[in-house]
Amino acid sequence: MTSVSQRFEALRERAHCALIPFITAGDPDLETTAEALRVLDRSGADLIELGVPYSDPLADGPVIQAAATRALQRGVRLADVLEVVRQVSPELRSPIILFTYYNPILNRGIDLFLKQVSEAGVKGLVVPDLPLEEAESLLHPAFDYGIELTLLIAPTSPADRIATIARQSQGFIYLVSTTGVTGMRAQVQARVKDLLVELQTVTDKPIGVGFGISQPEHARQVMDWGADAAIVGSAFVKRLADGTPAQGLDAIAEFCRSLKAAIAPI
Amino acid sequence: MTTTPIRSGSQSAASASYPDAHGRFGKFGGKYVPETLMPALAELEAAFHQYKNDPAFQQELQALLRDYVGRPSPLYFAERLTAHYARPDGTGPQIYLKREDLNHTGAHKINNALAQVLLAKRMGKQRIIAETGAGQHGVATATVCARFGLKCIIYMGVHDMERQALNVFRMRLMGAEVSPVEAGTGTLKDATSEAIRDWVTNVETTHYILGSVAGPHPYPMLVRDFQAIIGQETRAQCLEKWGGLPDILLACVGGGSNAMGLFHEFVNEPSVRMIGIEAAGEGIDTEKHAATLTRGRVGVLHGAMSYLLQDEEGQVIEPHSISAGLDYPGVGPEHSYLKDSGRAEYYSITDQQALTAFQQLSQLEGIIPALETAHAIAYLETLCPQLNGSPRIVINCSGRGDKDVQTVAKFLNPG
């Protein structure tokens, strides 16, 4: 199956900017999560980020917090999330990137966690509360299991950190577009453009921009500024949670297509 | 990135040289936060190292601690409490209270809030945020922000706002904005998460005055060092009163700042026994307690690796304690280190035992302790009968109980 890096290489050859939707696993329920993965995959997603619900998601804004809380209240566990991945991922073109906080990883034991997620078919990992200094414990073992651990860069990261993080990050580099938590915002901060330029001087790894990207124009904007991927989370989570599961699935399909259209090569 | 470890030059100060340059107390501590905050933590650490020995900073801090906070706080011999625990022959432990409850705003929290606001000023931050549980740290932060004319936002769980309504009023009276947090159980954990989210968002203009020895490095070190004045004064006062060291230190532990403040000075004095008391809520064999060190497993919460109350999936468990200040599922990483190394001992006290001690200290000494502090007092029931001779016990009387009288009244006279 395709790795995150391989997926980006293929897209790059065709000069495509990738679309990475994010959904919270288990919201509104696991069946809908499974179906949402299929729907996103055929509606223009190139990779998919799947959020593991956590009790204290301190990098997340209200939309994803609420989705995680609902999922936990329904009793969704990591094993259930991985079972969905195991069942659905063979049908997908999009590699699945698991977005999880560090404590559930630590709790399970790093090796066991990596073994289980890799067996389920997960290809990448994003851990929002694991900065470079603490990532050592996960980077090398992840590599051994064929899991790419993507590190994050923020608008506040100084130049020397940016270079080091870019060097260590696997799969791609996750550029956080704003100082803040996940969530929808009216526009993309202009400094993202400068950050992309700065990053491109130190790395040729793909760069995905996320946090606050919630409209087709935003995706288009970051693509025009040179991003290799637009990552869209809360806007998908909100649409999927509104109305019945069927309505939610229709809504994310349409939204995914509109995002993809905005970043399709001319 | 490589950094040179900062090590104390003194061999005998081995323990005092923790944390290491990575903010580690053994395996505990660290910085498990979103990347956005990493530069701010580095900036804070640099400012702390720059100013902690800076004469002008120290002069301003010491003058305010004296004239504004009212330090030094007395070391009070609790005569009737001592008599209560005396053996039939009149001997028994000699019980002293380190009167942090007499500080301005009524608790030890102001020591740290004041020092951090002086740092924030020097870092050019005009906006201050803080989390609060019992409201004592919120009140202390609101107080120092009023004193220095800084904008102040306090995050507080909705449940805590109800049980600590008096402190909510005090904070608002001093011009702070109290922002209700409805997530989770509406207690300290949720307020802390929300404060961290605010900081991630406004990090470039804002300083986060974290109120305990918890959170990401450098907070556990910085808050400990700003609270260490409690132990430093205690040492001098013991020396003055009996020419020696205390034998036993006793303090309550939620996040653990009042306990660390008392312990730190004595960590390298092997003759001094250190005891921390957690909240057992309705009992450590029930699901309703906050006894992190007694019942938790190693995990990561709010930026630090430490003991943590969590379920088998690694989801954080909602704690319970009658005392809002102890109602926290984590604990400062240095306490986890002191527990594992055996240097300090940790036990727990139930809501009911704390309520009894709350009344006992009120009646025997005319001192109404905070419910948090009452947990430490309550442990005397267990401790005193185990002791031989007349050891000198210093209890950190970390806060006063005015804020708790409504909670206690409701508990004692339900309906």
- The pLDDT tens digits of the residues spanning A88-135 come to 999 999 999 999 999 999 999 999 999 999 999 999 999 999 999 999
DSSP B399: B
When pLDDT is averaged across residues B13-38 and rounded to a whole number, the result is: 88
Annotated catalytic residue, options B109, B189, B339, B403 = B109
pLDDT of residue B16: 52
Residue reference for tokens 């990448």? A124
pLDDT tens profile B99-113: 999 999 999 999 999
Rounded to a whole number, what is the distance in Å from the CA of B125 to chain A's nearest CA? 16
Q: What is the CA radius of gyration of chain B?
A: 20
CB contact (8 A) between residue A108 and residue B314: yes
**pLDDT per position as a tens digit, A128-164:** 999 999 999 999 999 999 999 999 999 999 999 999 9
pLDDT tens digits, residue range B125-153? 999 999 998 899 999 999 999 999 999 99
Q: What is the pLDDT of residue A27?
A: 97
**Nearest CB partner across the interface for B32, out of A54, A134, A158:** A134
Identify the pLDDT of residue B185: 77
**Structure confidence at residue B282 (pLDDT):** 97
Report d(CA B259, CA B395) in Å as an integer. Answer: 9
Q: How far is A262 from chain B (nearest CA, A)?
A: 28
H/E stretch holding A192: helix A191-202
SS3 A149: strand
What's residue B3's pLDDT? 39
Judged against a pLDDT cut of 50, whether residue B7 lies above it is answered with no
Give the chain A residue whose CA is nearest to the CA of B298. Answer: A107
pLDDT for res B10 = 36
Q: Which structure tokens are listed for B98?
A: 């380190």
Q: What order of strands is seen across the sheet that includes strand B127-132?
A: B177-181, B151-157, B127-132, B206-208
Does position B2 have pLDDT exceeding 70, yes or no? no
pTM: 0.95
Q: Is B301 in the A-facing interface, judged by CB distances under 8 Å?
A: yes
Residue B277 has pLDDT above 50, yes or no: yes
Dist. CA B63–CA B40, nearest whole Å: 28
Give, for B95, the enclosing helix (H) or strand (E): strand B94-98
pLDDT of residue B245: 98
- pLDDT score recorded for residue A16: 96
Chain CA centroid to CA B160, Å: 17
* Interface residue A71 vs chain B (CB under 8 A): no
| Cα of A88 to nearest chain B Cα, Å | 23
To the query of whether residue B109 is one of the catalytic residues in this protein, the response is: yes
pLDDT for residue B96 is more than 90 = yes
pLDDT digits (tens, 9 = 90+) for B340-374: 999 999 999 999 999 999 999 999 999 999 999 99
Q: What's the mean pLDDT in B166-179?
A: 97
For B315, which of A54, A134, A161 is closest by C-beta distance? A54
pLDDT reading at B41 higher than 60: yes
C-beta of residue B401 within 8 angstroms of C-beta of residue B366: no
Tell me which chain A residues have a C-beta less than 8 angstroms from the C-beta of B312: 107
**B410 is known as an active-site residue:** no
For A76, name the nearest residue in chain B, comparing CA atoms only: B313
Torsion from C-alpha of A139, A140, A141, A145, nearest 10 degrees: 90
Average pLDDT over residues B247-266: 98
Closest CA to B348 of B378, B318, B386, B385: B378
The single residue of B45, B131, B233, B334 carrying the catalytic annotation is B131
Q: What is the pLDDT of residue B321?
A: 94
Cβ-based contacts of B314 with chain A (< 8 Å): 103-108
pLDDT at B413: 87
Is A60 annotated in the active site? Answer: yes
Q: For chain B, what percent of residues have pLDDT higher than 70? A: 96
Tell me what pLDDT residue A11 has: 96
In order along chain A (266 residues), what is the average pLDDT of each group of 10 residues? 95 96 98 98 98 96 95 97 98 98 98 98 98 94 97 96 97 96 92 96 97 96 97 98 98 98 89
**In the predicted model, is pLDDT for residue B4 greater than 70?**
no
B200, closest residue in chain A (CA to CA): A180
